[in-house]
């Protein structure tokens, strides 16, 4: 039969050893909750959108309710071959002005774009999305290559590299560029079309304090 005193000592020893673990767990949970609560500044607004390019004349942008992404919408455009080389590459660039409290920085972490392609054998196409930040160096890009024969819709979600944060301050311009292009094949009747923009292009945001 076990000695009650020894059993009690063992229980106390186990409790003493477990206390640091539970204390650390409580601290980590508190930090996670606090981090989630402070993950996005308030308020965040899109104050202006200016667009131009060979594929568009105007665009609109809408911020998600949680401030963790924004959509850019424009009339669908396409690159095509055969025909003039000018038609083989089309783009739309939009300057999205974000307003948010001082003491924060933001970057575009990933993009989701949708479109359609119809390429005969030997024709290559591509859809590319990139962005740069006014006042910061570098351009981040994501690329989806499409090789014929191909005749269907496409969707691609990709992380943007490198990571570019806005300067520390109250607001910044995020300049996004959406592009489609085709490279004609050698066959006499080779043809191809790559389009984008029928659905909004979504840009996911990552926030951090300065």
Quick: pLDDT tens for 12-47: 443 444 444 444 444 444 333 333 334 999 999 999
* R_g (Cα) of the chain, nearest Å: 26
Cβ neighbours of residue 76 under 8 Å, at least 6 residues apart? 115, 195, 196, 197, 198
Measured CA to CA, the distance from residue 123 to residue 182 in angstroms comes to: 7
Answer whether 61's CB lies under 8 Å from 175's CB. no
- Strand, helix or coil at 203? strand
pLDDT at 3: 53
Q: How confident is the model at residue 187 (pLDDT cuts 50, 70, 90)?
A: confident
Q: What is the DSSP letter of 88?
A: G
Residue given tokens 């106390």 in the structure block = 12
Of the candidates 135, 98, 106, the one whose C-alpha atom is nearest the C-alpha of residue 204 is 106
Quick: pLDDT tens for 129-143: 999 998 888 999 999
Task: Supply 115's token pair.
Answer: 């479109």
- Name beta bridge partners: 124: 147, 183
């Amino acid at each position: 039969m076990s000695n009650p005193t020894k059993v009690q000592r063992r229980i106390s020893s186990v409790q003493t050893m477990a206390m640091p673990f539970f204390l650390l767990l409580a601290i980590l949970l508190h930090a996670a909750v606090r981090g989630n609560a402070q993950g996005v500044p308030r308020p965040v607004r899109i104050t202006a959108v200016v667009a131009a390019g060979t594929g568009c004349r105007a665009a609109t942008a809408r911020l998600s309710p949680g401030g963790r992404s924004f959509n850019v919408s424009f009339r669908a455009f396409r690159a095509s071959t055969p025909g003039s080389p000018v038609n083989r590459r089309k783009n739309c660039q939009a300057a999205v002005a974000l307003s948010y409290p001082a003491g924060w920085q933001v970057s575009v972490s990933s993009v989701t774009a949708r479109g359609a392609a119809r390429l005969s054998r030997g024709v290559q196409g591509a859809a590319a999305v990139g962005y740069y930040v006014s006042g910061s160096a570098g351009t981040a890009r994501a690329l989806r290559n499409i090789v014929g024969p191909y005749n269907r819709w496409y969707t691609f979600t990709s992380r943007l590299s490198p990571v570019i944060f806005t300067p520390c301050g109250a607001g910044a311009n995020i300049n996004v560029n959406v592009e489609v292009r085709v490279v004609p094949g050698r066959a006499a009747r080779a043809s191809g079309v790559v389009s984008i923009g029928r659905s909004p292009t979504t840009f996911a945001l990552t926030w951090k304090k300065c």
